[in-house]
């Protein structure tokens, strides 16, 4: 199982960057997790847009879904140009009907609702969900192929439930939109200390800090998380792979 960071910025992408997007591949199956601003441009460095097998969305904030429309156009245009049409399933939650309906643009893409109470099988992956603490309904994902397990917090302020949810995972992709001493309670985001605390308590094998802020020195996020969690901590970077 191979994970590639397509984009990692919180809110909006900096020049030539992209906001949230992660490509997870195994056994010839390509799953795109979140599809933020500029993710469509960046993801084509790793996979042809017609070779994506599924997309799954944590929530409907712009920095996680901005490129769904262009992705639908890309599938349409490649189909018109003679690429074999294959309907792309886009999984999202149903708590926001209006945004959910936008996932369907037949015959190119079709929205499927995931039931967060149940695990979802997508190709080689089994995905389970945890509702996060965020201004809109959002789900964290725990994804396994039976050998390796990746946990993605999506957007959230600190939740003690993350510790069980991320337990013993090989990689924790933790949002880290804030620095030590800030309070993410209202914004629905976490600090580097909270990321480090979850990684430590859940005994994950590796921590990747993502959904990075547009201020401060990112290296400081790593240092503070490392002061709490003694495993490897890395900053999300475009093209970073696991
Ligand atoms: Zn976000
Ligand atoms: Zn959000």
- pLDDT given for residue 86 in this prediction: 86
Q: Which ligand is nearest to the CA of 8?
A: 1
The average pLDDT across 154-166 equals 98
Q: How far is the CA of 63 from the centre of ligand 1 (A)?
A: 5
Ligand 2 centroid–CA 138 distance in Å is 7
Mean pLDDT of 121-133: 98
Q: Which residue intervals of the chain are DSSP H helices?
A: 39-43, 62-65, 68-80, 97-101, 161-165, 192-202, 218-228
For the CA of 136, the nearest ligand: 2
pTM, two decimals, is 0.97
Distance CA 173, CA 190 (A): 12
pLDDT score recorded for residue 85: 79
Per-residue pLDDT tens over the stretch 7-37: 999 999 999 999 999 999 999 999 999 999 9
Q: Mind listing the domains of the chain with CATH numbers?
A: 2-235 (3.60.15.10)
Q: For residue range 171-214, list pLDDT tens digits in order.
A: 999 999 999 999 999 999 999 999 999 999 999 999 999 999 99
Gap from CA of 134 to ligand 1 centroid (Å)? 9
């Amino acid at each position: 199982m191979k994970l590639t960071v397509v984009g990692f910025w919180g809110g909006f992408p900096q020049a030539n960057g992209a906001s949230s997007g992660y490509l997870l591949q195994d056994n010839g199956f390509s799953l795109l997790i979140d599809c933020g601003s500029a993710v469509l441009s960046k993801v084509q460095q790793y996979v042809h847009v017609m070779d994506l097998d599924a997309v799954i969305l944590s929530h409907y904030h712009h920095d996680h879904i901005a490129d769904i429309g262009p992705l639908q156009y890309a599938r349409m245009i490649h189909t018109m140009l003679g690429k074999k049409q294959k309907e792309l399933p886009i999984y999202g939650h149903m708590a926001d009907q209006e945004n959910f309906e936008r996932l369907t643009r037949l015959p190119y893409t079709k929205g499927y609702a995931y039931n967060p109470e149940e695990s979802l099988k997508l190709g080689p992956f089994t995905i389970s969900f945890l509702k996060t603490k965020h201004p809109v309904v959002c789900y964290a994902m725990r994804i396994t192929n039976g050998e390796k397990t990746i946990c993605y917090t999506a957007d959230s302020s600190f939740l003690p439930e993350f510790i069980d949810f991320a337990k013993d995972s090989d990689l924790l992709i933790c949002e880290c939109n804030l620095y030590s001493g800030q309070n993410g309670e209202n914004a629905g985001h976490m600090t580097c200390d909270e990321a480090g605390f979850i990684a430590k308590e859940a005994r994950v094998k590796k921590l990747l800090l993502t959904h990075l802020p547009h201020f401060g020195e990112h290296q400081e996020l790593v240092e503070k998380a490392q002061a709490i969690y003694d495993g490897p901590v890395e900053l999300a970077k475009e093209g970073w792979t696991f």
